[in-house]
Structure 1
Amino acid sequence: MHDVVIVGAGPVGLFLACELGVAGCSVVVLERESEPGSPWRANPLGMRGLFGSSLQAFHRRGMLHPLLAASGVDDALGVDLDADGPAPLRGGLGHFAGMVLDPADVDLAALPFRLPTLAPDVMLTDLAAIETVLSERASKLGVEIRRGVTVSGVAQDDEGVVVRAGEQEYAARWVVGCDGGRSVVRRLAGFEFVGSEPRFTGYTMVASLDDPEKLRPGINLTPTGMYLRMPTEGHIGAMDFDGGAFDRSQPPTRDHLQAVLRRVSGTDVTLNEVHLASSFTDRAMQTTTYRQRRVLLAGDAAHIHSPLGGQGLNTGLGDALNLGWKLAATVRGHAPDGLLDTYTRERHPVGARVLDWSRAQVAAMSPDPHGHALQGVLRDLFGTRDGTTYAFGRLSGSSVRHDLGSDQPLVGRTAPDFRLEDGTCLADLMHDGRGVVLDFSADRRLRDAARGWQSRLRYAAGTARNDLGLGAVLVRPDGVVAWAGERDFDRKAFEGAAGAWFGTAES
C-alpha cells in the first residue's frame, strides 16, 4: 500500500509528489497520457507565466536554477541581494482584462514585507519545462510515475482508498486528484462543483496567415471581443462572446476559426492552415470543499476559470505547496488535530478570489456599453500607483494572507526571503521541506525551545541584512509565517504556535 496516490502528472500533481517525496512518503503518480511531451505543453501553446509566489516555491525547494535553465532564462538575474529597502520589480506584470499594467507604476514603498530575492516577480516559461524539472526531482526522491494509466474507479473506507485503473488496483492511505478541470477523481468521489456558466468561447491556435499584418500585435480589445497576436509567428488567440455556445467536444475547424477571428478583429484576415488549435471558456467553478474523507483535490480539479491573468497554474501550485507538508505530517503521524482540515480552510478562499478576479475581467471585456464603461473606469484606476499596486498584489500572490489568529501583520503571509549576514537566505534553509526558526537575536531561550521540534524544524541564528524589526520568525514548510516574535522572546507564544502547526514536542 502506498501512502498517497496522486492522479495527474501535470505541474500541480508533480509538485505535490515532490513535497511528499521529500518528507519520505511512498507516492505513486498515475497519468493518463502515455508520453510526457506534446505540442500542447511546449512553447507556444504551452507557454505560461509564473508569478512571484510560485517562483519563490521553486526557490525554497532548490529548483529555481534548474527551472530558469529549462526555461532559457538568464541565471544571472542582476538582483542586488544586499540592497536596502524593497527590491525593484523584475519581469513584467501582465494585464487585467487586456489592459497592460506598467511595473513602473507599482508603489514599492507600499509593500512593507518585500525583500531582495533571487526569484523574479514574473517569468514566462512553458509546461514542458516545468514538468521536466519536477519529474526529475520527483524521480530522485523515489516517486513512482506511471503513464498511460486511465483511472476508472475510486473507493474509500476508514482505512484507505483503492484507485482502479484498467485491470489494476492501487491501494493507498490517501488519494489526491490533480487531474485537471474535467477531473475524474472529483466526479468519482462525489465532490460538489458549483459556480457560474460561461459568457465566451476562447480559442488559441498556431496557424499560417495569408495576411498577418492585418492583425495588430499584442492584446487587442475590440467592439466585438478580443484577439491576441503573440510574438511567436502564427500564435493567435481570440475571445468570442457567444455565451460559451461552441461545441467543445470537437476541435475547431479552420473555417470556424477564421470566421471568429474576422468577427472579433473586424478584418478580413485569412487563415491558410491551422496547425494546432484548442478552445476554452470562462466557466468559473469550484468544489465546496477540497477534501472528502481520504480523497483530496488540488489545482484545476478543485477550481476552474478562464486563463485571463494567468492565475490557474499559480493557484494550483499554491494548493500543492499548502497541502504537501500537511498531508505528509498526517501520513507520518505527527500532525496536530485538524491540520489537514486547514488545507480547505486556507486555500478555498484563495481559489474563490481567483474566480472572482477572472469574472471581473470577463465583465470588463464584454463587448457592450456596460463593458466599455467599466473599461474606462479601470483604465483610470490603473493609471494610478494605488490601482497598479493593488493589481500587483493580486497577480503576484503577495496580497494573500491566511487568517492564523494573530494580529501580527506578517503572520499568515508568505515569508520574505530573509538573508543572514553570512549570506544564507531563508530559501537555502528550506530545501528539505522542514519548517524554519530564524532567530535574529540569537536568543538561547528560543534555541532551547526549538529543540522540542528538532526533526521538524530547522533552527538558524544570526543577524539579518533586514529583519523588518523582528526578533525571530517561525516559518511553516510552505513558506507561510506561523509566528513572529519581537526582540523580547515570548516562549509561551512560540511554543503555542509550534505546537499548533507541528504537533506535540518531541521528548
Structure 2
Amino acid sequence: MHDVVIAGAGPVGLFLACELRLADISVLVLEQAEDPHSPLKQVPFGMRGLSVPTVEALYRRGLLDDLTAPQRMKNALGHGGASTAHWMQQPRRPGGHFAGIQFYEDNIDTAKWPYRLQSPAGASMATTMEHIESVLAVRAHAMGVEIMRGYSVEGLDQSDSGVTIRAGGETFHGRWLVGCDGGRSIVRKAGGVEFVGTEPEFTGYSVEVEMADPDKLVPGRHYTPTGMYTYQQPGTVAMVDFDGGAFHRTRPITLEHVQSVLRHISGADVTVTTLKLATTWTDRAFQATTYRNGRVLLAGDAAHIHSPLGGQGLNLGLGDAMNLGWKLAATIRGDAPEGLLDSYCTERYPLGSQILDWSRAQVAVMRPSRSSRALEAIMRDLIETRDGATYFAERVWGLSLRYDLGGCHPLVGRSAPDFELADGTRLGERLRNGKGLLLGFDPAGPLQALASGWSGGVSYVASDARDKLGLSAVLVRPDGIVAWACEVAPDQEELAQAASRYFIKA
C-alpha cells in the first residue's frame, strides 16, 4: 500500500507527487495516457504563462533553473519563433491581457506592492506544457515517485483507513487518493463529489493551418459581429464561436468545418488548404462543491474548470498542489494540527471560485453584442490608466493572492518576500527542504528555543538581511505563505499561537 495514490501525471499531479516525496511519503501516480508527448502540449498550443505564485513555488523547490536553462527554453520555444517573439517587436512590452485587451509593463505602478523584493523568481514567465511536465517528471523519478502509464481509474472504494482503486484491470491500494485527472475526473465522480457551475456560451478553436490566401487575415486579435479570432502568422489561429459550446467534442474537426467557422468569424473569404492541428475548448466554468470527501481529494482541473482565457488554469492547479502537499504529508506522518488538511479546501476553494468569475467576466466582454462592445471600450479606457493597468497586473500575475489567516500584519496570508540574508542566501532557497521557516532578523534573538519545539517541521534562521522591510521576525509556512510577522520585539505567545495552526510540538 502506498501512502498516496495520485490519478493523473500532468503538471499538477507530478508537482504534488514531488511535494509529498519531499516529506518522505510513498507515492504512486496512475496516468491514463501511455505516451506523455502530444503536439497540443508544444508550441504554439501548449504555451502557458506561469504566474508569480507559480514561479515562486518552482523557485522555492529548486525547479526554476531547470525550466529556464537556455538550451531547454530554446527547445521549448524554438518552434514558435514568430509568435513568441511577437511582443518583442512591439514598442511597448505587454504585461498580459483581459479578454484580449492588453495592459503594458510601462504603465504599472509597482510601488503598490511594497512587500515585493527583487528575487531570482522574477515575474511571470512562459513555457510549454510539455516542457514543464518533462521537468517535473524528471524530478519525480529522481525523488522515487512510481509512475505507471496506461492506467485509467475505473472506480474506487474508500474506508476509514484507505482507498482501493481499480485502474487498467488491476487493483491498487492507498491510504489517500488525490484526483488530478482533469475536468472529466473519474476520481471526482467515483468519489461522490458534485461539480456545479455555468454551461458554455461558445466553442473555442485553436488550429494550425495552411491557407491559399493568408494575407486576407490581419495578424492580431479581432472582435467581430460573430465572435473573435486571433491570427498569428504563419497559420496559427484561435477562434471563438458563440454557439453555446455545441461543437466541442461532438464530432471530428475537419478542414471544411474549420474553414467554415473561420470565414464566419473573420468575415474573410479565406481558403484553408491544409489542417495541421486542431483542438476545441469552451468557457464551461464548473467547480467541485468540496475538494475533499473522506480520503479522496481533488486538485487542478478535477476541482475546477474554466476557459483558458488568461492562462490561469495551470497556475491555479499548481497552487493547489503547493498548498495540499505539505498538509497531506503532515496528516500522514501524524504531526498535523487538527483541521490542517481541511484548510486546503477552505483556502483554495475561494480562490478557485474567484478565478472562475474572472473567466466569466472576460466572456461577458467578448460576446458579439452591442452592449459587450460598449463594455469593451470602457475596459480599454480603464486598462490604459496607471491604476487600471496595475489592478489588472495584480490579478493576472497572481499578486493579489492572500489567504484569510487572521493576524494583524498585512503580510500574513501573502507570499513571503525573498529576503536576501547576510550570508548571501535567500529565503526562497531556505524553503527547498519543504519545512516551515522562522526567520529572526536579530542574530541574538530569543526565538530558537521556541522553534526547536515544533516537531522538526520548522527551520530556524537568525540573520540580518539586506532589506528587512521594517520587520523583526517572520514565520513562513512550507508553501511560502507568511503565517506570522512582527515589526517590534516578537511576542512569543502570539508567535506560538500562530505556529500551532500549522505545526505541533515535538
Cα 1:397–1:115 shift into 2, 3 Å: same
User: Unpaired runs of 5+ in structure 1?
Assistant: 75-89
1:8 aligned to 2:8?
A: yes
CA distance in 1 between counterparts of 2:328 and 2:299 reads 12
Partner of 2:150: 148
Which residue in the other structure is 1:299 paired with? 300
Contact 2:93 2:104 in 1 (8 A): no
SS at match of 1:93: strand
- C-alpha distance in 1 between matches for 2:99 and 2:46: 21
TM-superposed CA distance for 1:3, in Å, is 0.3
Contact 2:202 2:244 in 1 (8 A): yes
Instruction: Decide whether the 8 Å contact of 2:93 with 2:106 is kept in 1.
Output: no
Please give the per-residue CA displacement for 1:125-165, whole angstroms capped at 9, x wherever unaligned: 10111011101111111110110111101110111001101
Shift of 1:394: 0.9
* Matched residue SS, 1:101: strand
Task: Indicate conservation of the 8 Å contact 2:455/2:503, yes or no.
Answer: no
Deviation at 1:92, TM superposition (A): 4.6
Aligned to 1:340: 341
Look up the match of 1:240. 241
* 1:96 aligned residue (79, 95, 98): 98
Q: Within the alignment, does 1:465 sit opposite 2:436 as a pair?
A: no
Equivalent pair of 1:91/1:121 in contact (CA under 8 Å) = no
Q: State the match for 2:26 in structure 1.
A: 26
Q: How does 1:218-237 map onto structure 2 within 5 Å?
A: 218-230=220-232, 233-237=234-238
Contact 1:154–1:164, Cα closer than 8 Å, also in 2? yes
CA distance in structure 2 between the partners assigned to 1:43 and 1:405 by the alignment: 43
Letter in 1 for 2:124: V
Correspondence for 1:403? 404
Distance across 1 between alignment mates of 2:299 and 2:118: 30
Task: Output the CA distance in 2 between the equivalents of 1:416 and 1:268.
Answer: 53
In structure 2, the residue matched to 1:83 is none
- Aligned match of 2:46: 46
Partners of 2:397 and 2:45 in 1: CA distance:
22
Which position in structure 2 is the counterpart of 1:447?
Answer: 448
| Partner of residue 274, structure 1 | 275
Check if 1:137 corresponds to 2:139: yes
TM-score in terms of structure 2 length? 0.94
Q: Confirm or deny: 8 A CA contact 1:225 1:367 kept in the other structure.
A: yes
Q: Partner of 1:59 in structure 2?
A: 59
Match of 1:123 in 2: 125
SS at match of 1:415: coil
Which sits farther off after the overlay, 33-42 or 361-370? 33-42
The one-character-per-residue Cα deviations of 1:27-84 (angstroms, maximum 9, x if unpaired) are 000000001112121222211111111011110000001011233399xxxxxxxxxx
Partner Cα distance (1:429, 1:208) in 2: 50
Q: Determine if contact 1:91/1:122 at 8 Å carries over to the other structure.
A: no
Conserved? CA contact 2:22–2:434, under 8 Å: yes
Matches within 5 A, 1:317-336: 317-336=318-337
Name the CA distance, whole Å, in 2 between partners of 1:154 and 1:467: 50
2:437 maps to which residue? 436
Q: For residue 217 of structure 1, what is the amino acid of its counterpart?
A: P
| 2:14–2:140 Cα contact (<8 Å) kept | yes
Which amino acid is the alignment partner of residue 35 of structure 1?
D
Distance 1:188 1:63 in 2: 33
Within 1, Cα distance between the matches of 2:492 and 2:153? 49
In structure 2, relative to structure 1, the CA distance for the partners of 1:461 and 1:251 (3 Å cut) is farther
Contact kept in structure 2, 1:92 and 1:122, CA below 8 Å: no
Question: Which amino acid in the other structure matches residue 473 of structure 1?
Answer: V
Q: Which amino acid aligns with 1:125?
A: T
What amino acid sits opposite 1:405 in the alignment? G
TM-score between both structures, scaled by the size of structure 1: 0.94
User: Which SS does the other structure have where 1:418 is aligned?
Assistant: coil
Q: Helix, strand or coil: the match of 2:387?
A: helix
Tell me the amino acid that sits aligned with residue 270 of structure 2: V
- In structure 2, the partner of 1:179 is 181
Question: 1:500 maps to which residue?
Answer: 501
Distance in 1 between residues matched to 2:40 and 2:330, nearest whole Å? 35
Q: Is the 8 A contact 1:223 1:367 kept in 2?
A: yes
CA distance in 1, matches of 2:321, 2:134: 17
1:207-222 matches, within 5 Å, as 207-222=209-224
Shift of residue 234, structure 1, vs aligned partner: 2.2
- How far 1:265 moved relative to its partner? 1.2
Q: Which residue number in structure 1 is paired with residue 170 of structure 2? A: 168
Counterpart residue number, 1:316: 317
- Amino acid in structure 2 at the alignment position of 1:204: S
* RMSD, matched Cα: 1.5
Please give the secondary structure, in 1, of the residue aligned with 2:410.
coil
Q: Render the CA deviation track for 1:12-41: whole Å, top value 9, x for unaligned.
A: 000000000111000000000001112121
- Please state how far the C-alpha of 1:443 moved relative to its aligned partner: 4.2
For the residues of structure 2 that align with 1:476 and 1:169, how far apart are their CA atoms?
36
Letter in 1 for 2:493: K
Contact 2:300–2:318 (Cα < 8 Å) also in 1? yes
Runs of 4+ aligned structure 1 residues displaced above 3 Å come to: none
Percent identity between the two aligned chains: 54
TM-superposed deviation, 1:297: 0.4
In structure 1, the partner of 2:384 is: 383
Per the TM alignment, residue 222 of structure 1 is displaced from its structure 2 partner at its CA by: 2.1
**Secondary structure, counterpart of 2:456 in structure 1:** coil
* 2:372 aligned residue: 371
1:502 maps to a residue whose letter is F
1:441–1:471 contact (8 Å) kept in structure 2 = yes
Instruction: Measure how far apart 1:407 and its partner are.
Output: 2.2
State the Cα distance separating 1:359 from its structure 2 match. Answer: 0.3
Q: Distance in 2 between the 1:199 and 1:407 partners?
A: 43
1:54-93 mapped onto 2 (5 Å cutoff): 54-69=54-69, 70-72=72-74, 92-93=94-95
| Secondary structure of the corresponding residue to residue 190 of structure 2 | helix
